[in-house]
A and B are shown apart, each in its own frame.
Chain A
Amino acid sequence: MTMSLPPIETNLNLRSIAETAGDDLLRGFQKRELWGRLAWLDVKRRYRRTTIGPFWNSITLAIYVLTVGTVGAAIWHQNIYDYLPFLVSGMIVWTLVSSIINESCSLFIAGQSLFRNIQLDYSVLAYAMVWRNFLVLLHNFVVYFLVVLVLKPSLLCATALLAVPGLALVLVNGVWISLLLGMLCLRFRDVPQLVSSIMQIAMLITPLFWPADTLTGIKQFVFVDLNPLYHAVDVVRAPLLGRVPEAISYGAMIAMTIGGWWLTYAMFKRFRKRIAYWS
């Protein structure tokens, strides 16, 4: 039995409840207050009742860089004054990139309790996650400043400011990656395992512990030039080490931004309304 429909009134205020993907992305972004708060609460949550809070991350990173850096400098025959800043800046960016990728996998799996109970633009979860990792990055930057101030203050020059656009590129890519991986992992629960395996290996084959030019020829082409993670790290790391990133890195990042967003938008448009059903 159905309730009868009224005669069709030309009611302009009547809108379809179905949102478009574009609405979701834009409206979600406008809710800065919401994703900002979600991100901040998440940071707080992890370090609650600790005295130094998120700086635990930084301390871990500092110890890691000092110990691994000392050993690494010997292994790769590097000057420690060059090697430590190289390692610390690389690790800071790597932490950002790899956390975004790893956490993307649980983006919608962990967010179910929210979007199944309230009206929530899915993109809010992605913005919150990327923003949270950015906040962690800011804490880690303290380690970079300390290391550089002690070992090589000359690195803190105008070129370092180029890290800002580089970082922006990484974050913009982070959003599409989190949406795309988030959907994929929600639907296919094997993908998170796969991603975490790949990221573990990627950490070793991406030039983080050794300079990119250690590799030559075809090896350099495969592990450096074709490695998107290298470009993502280098657009931020290079300025922090006083050099301008290579054009190929910017090119790769811009291409990834365009290609990635195009793919994600298409997928998001197609499958956005299935997200609640997949969860």
Chain B
Amino acid sequence: MATIILENVNAHFPIYGQQRSLRKALFQRATGASIEHEGKNNDRLSVKALSDISLTLKDGDRVGLIGHNGAGKSTLLKLMAGIYEPVSGTIKVEGRVTPLFDTMPGLDREDTGYENILTSGVLIGMTRRQIEAKIPEIEEFCELGEYLTLPVRTYSTGMTMRLGFALVTAMDPGVLLMDEGFGTGDLRFAERAEARMKSFVGRSSIMVLASHSDRTIRTMCNKAILMESGRITASGPVDEICDQYYQSVHAAAMAERQVKPSAKASSSGYSASGAGAMERIDGDGSIENVGLTDRLRRTNGTARFTRITARDSNGNSRWSFSPDETVTFRFEYKILERVSNLAFLFRLNTTPPGGASEIIFADMHEILSTEAVEAGYEGSVELSLKLQTLMPNNYLPYVWLGRTSNAGGYDVVDSNVGLPALTVNSSVEKEYRFGFVSLPYEARKSGTPAEAAVMKVGV
């Protein structure tokens, strides 16, 4: 029987003797922890890493900690591990706690594989005898053979990782605390590693895994805790919380675009569900008079998008699709002042895991007219997109009208009018794939019935 109870736990990191530049850098971390001034003259600076955390974990809980970089996931793990002690509040545990934040603690590249097994094993709390008993199993799994008698500096990165993985997964975990830096959260590991990881996690009484990849959390956990700026913002069943996290990532990306960089970046300036930003587009997709301040600031306003819709093949309006569908976007616009030529750009942006800033995922660029277009002209662009090449993810649309030379924009809409994200849902129950693109490939597998030998994947 294992239990972890946290009651009103707080943790602040003092910052000593820092240069102003670092202080500034810390302030700019929009998604990170808040910085407070303490002491008599407000001269002591401290980062509030965790505030008022209370939770109870019991046997069988597989909990994913999810949130942006700096949300406090690792700090919370380290508090549970007893590495940091809370500034206030109490943490109580029952059962042995095994923190795994480092694949091979105390690794010395000059030592041989065997010596490092012993060093790391002793450091993570095994006795010499226990380690020696596990050595055949470790040897078998890591498949390093003779290499184990050579210094680790002769190993490739992958070999070192395999050694560390074989070692830690050989132990009896108790309450298992893992940071994703540990590398085993990475399910792209070989199938064998995955099976071993599963049995390792299965042997633990409680597992807590910190990750900013909701895929990893979804595949390994049954509960999730969403963290933001050192607080728990939501907790519950894994799928529910992960959905919420995904929406907040999207909303954050939109909020970031709305708030000018000079404005005070607020870590909690958007609502967790992102609903606030989405309401701004009308039900029928008309956006003629929405978000004009931003649109006119960024472009000269000589043309204007009036309506944007996304429909499935039956003509139903929606923004969420499965990968085997085709989505048809319709962009209606009108020319307000004569323009010398006209080009159109439809761009999908996406946010990589971890809430890093958006990246351009794909551009679709069309020349609408090389001739002048007179004021009053009303036109439209219909764009059909087969989604089968997209990995399940959220894609943030960005639509632009401007000169063919790309030198000037007439109108631009994205989150400024609250365009919803294009959501591609997963077609399988558990998603093991990462990345952005589904490549159309064929896999031929041996040892399976002939009919199944050629299988089309990626659709």
Binding site for B on A (CB under 8 A): 1-6, 11, 13-19, 33-34, 37-38, 41, 45, 48-49, 113-120, 187, 189, 273, 276-278
Residue B302 interfacial (CB < 8 Å): no
Given pairs A14-B94, A17-B97, A37-B118, 15 additional interface contacts (CB within 8 A): A1-B234, A1-B235, A15-B93, A17-B82, A17-B85, A33-B122, A37-B119, A41-B108, A116-B83, A119-B99, A187-B16, A273-B85, A276-B78, A276-B83, A277-B14
Q: How far apart are B71's CB and chain A's nearest CB, in angstroms?
A: 14
User: Given A37-B118, A120-B123, A277-B13, do A17 and B93 touch, yes or no (CB 8 Å)?
Assistant: yes
Q: Which 4 A-B pairs have the closest CB atoms?
A: A273-B85, A117-B102, A2-B54, A17-B91
A232–B68 Cα distance when bound, in Å, is 54
Cβ contact within 8 Å between B80 and A17:
yes
**A18-B91 in contact (CB<8A):** yes
Give the complex CA separation of A168 and B111 in angstroms. 32
B interface bracket (residues with beta carbon within 8 Å of A): 35 or more
Known contacts A17-B82, A117-B101; A41 and B111 CB within 8 A of each other: yes
| Chain A residues with CB under 8 A of B80 | 17
A4 partner residues in chain B, CB cutoff 8 A: 56
Cβ-based interface call for B343 (8 A):
no
Note all chain A residues with C-beta closer than 8 A to B234.
1
A-B contact pairs, 8 of them (CB 8 A): A11-B3, A16-B90, A16-B92, A114-B105, A116-B78, A118-B125, A276-B85, A278-B14
- Interchain CB contact under 8 A, B82 and A19: yes
Residues of chain A within 8 A (CB-CB) of B125 are: 118-119
Q: Which residue of B lies closest to A4 (CB)?
A: B56
Chain B residue nearest to A273 (CB atoms) is B85
Residues of B within 8 A of A33 (CB): 122, 127-128
Distance (Å) between the CB of B361 and the closest chain A CB?
33
For the complex, give the distance between the alpha carbons of A10 and B53 in Å. 22
A6 near B56 with CB under 8 A, answer yes
**How close is A228's CB to chain B, nearest CB, in angstroms?**
30
Closest chain-A Cβ to B65's Cβ sits at a distance in Å of 13
A6 and B59 CA atoms in complex are apart in Å by 14
B residues near A115, Cβ cutoff 8 Å: 83
Structural contact, A5 and B7, CB atoms closer than 8 A: yes
* A115 CA to B81 CA, complexed, in Å: 11
Q: Which residues of B66-94 are within 8 A (CB) of A?
A: 78-85, 90-94
List the B residue with the shortest CB-CB distance to A5. B56
Q: Which residue of A lies closest to B102 (CB)?
A: A117
Query: Taking CB as reference atom, which chain B residue is nearest A2?
Result: B54
**Are B92 and A17 in contact (CB-based, < 8 A)?**
yes
**Distance of A118 Cα from B99 Cα, bound (Å):** 6
Indicate whether A14 sits within 8 Å of B3 (C-beta atoms), given known contacts A41-B111, A117-B101, A118-B101: yes
The listed residue (A14, A19, A120) touching B92 by CB distance below 8 A is A14
Give the number of residue pairs across the A-B interface with Cβ within 8 Å: 107
The answer to whether A2 touches B55 (Cβ under 8 A) is yes
Smallest Cβ distance from A108 to chain B, in angstroms?
Answer: 13
B417 CB–A CB distance under 8 Å: no
Point out residues on B near A: beta carbons under 8 Å.
Answer: 1, 3, 5, 7, 13-14, 16-17, 52-56, 78-85, 90-95, 97, 99, 101-102, 105-106, 108, 110-111, 115, 118-119, 122-125, 127-128, 232-235
Contact residues in A for B101 (Cβ distance below 8 Å): 117-118
A contact patch SS: loop
Q: Which residues of A contact B53 (CB under 8 A)?
A: 2
B425 CB to closest chain A CB, in angstroms?
27
Q: Which residues of chain B are within 8 angstroms of A187 by Cβ–Cβ distance? A: 16
- Select one of A6, A15, A49 contacting B94, CB under 8 A: A15
Contact residue among A2, A19, A45, A276 (Cβ-Cβ distance under 8 Å from B84): A276
Whether A18 pairs with B85 at a CB distance below 8 angstroms is yes
Closest to B111 in A: A41
Beta-carbon nearest neighbor of B53 in chain A? A2
Asked if A3 contacts B83 (CB within 8 A), the reply is no
Q: How far is the CA of A119 from the CA of B123 in the complex (A)?
A: 8
A276 to B93, CA, bound (A): 20
Task: Check B7 against A34 for contact (C-beta < 8 Å).
Answer: no
Q: How far is the CB of B227 from chain A (nearest CB, A)?
A: 11
Contact B91 A16 (CB under 8 A): yes
Determine which residue in A17, A18, A38, A41 has the highest number of CB atoms from chain B within 10 A of its CB, and name it: A17
User: Which B residues touch A13, using CB under 8 A?
Assistant: 1, 94-95
CB distance from B271 to the nearest CB of A (A): 14
Query: Which chain B residues border A276 with CB–CB below 8 Å?
Result: 78, 83-85
CB distance from A24 to the nearest CB of B (A): 11
How far is B104's CA from A113's CA once the two chains are assembled, in angstroms? 11
- B124: chain A residues at CB < 8 Å are 118
* Chain B residues with CB under 8 A of A45: 108, 110
Residues B123 and A114 in contact, CB atoms below 8 Å apart:
yes
Chain A residues lying within 8 Å of B52, measured Cβ to Cβ, are 2
Chain A residue contacts of B17, Cβ below 8 A: 189
**Complex formed: what's the CA distance from A11 to B3 in Å?**
10
Contact status B84-A277, CB under 8 Å: yes
- Central interface residue in B80, B82, B125, B232, by most chain A CB within 10 Å: B82
A47 to chain B, nearest CB (A): 11
A49 to B110, CA, bound (A): 10
Which residue of chain B is the closest to A13 with respect to CB atoms? B94
Q: Are A3 and B106 in contact (CB under 8 A)?
A: no
Question: A273: which B residues are within 8 A, CB to CB?
Answer: 84-85
Complex Cα spacing A276 to B102, Å: 16
Contacts of B99 in A (CB 8 A): 117-119
Looking across the interface, which residue of chain B has its beta carbon closest to that of A189? B17
Cross-chain contact A41 with B105 (CB below 8 angstroms): no
CA distance A70 to B56 in the complex (A): 72
In whole Å, how far is A55's beta carbon from the nearest beta carbon of chain B?
Answer: 19
The residues of B that contact A17 with a CB separation of less than 8 Å are: 79-80, 82, 85, 91-93, 97
Bound form: Cα–Cα A45–B115 in Å:
12
Nearest-neighbour CB distance to chain B for A272, whole angstroms, equals: 8
Do the beta carbons of A119 and B235 come within 8 Å of each other? Answer: no
| Cα-based distance from A115 to B105 in the complex (angstroms) | 10
B83: which A residues are within 8 A, CB to CB?
A: 115-119, 276
Closest to B98 in A: A119
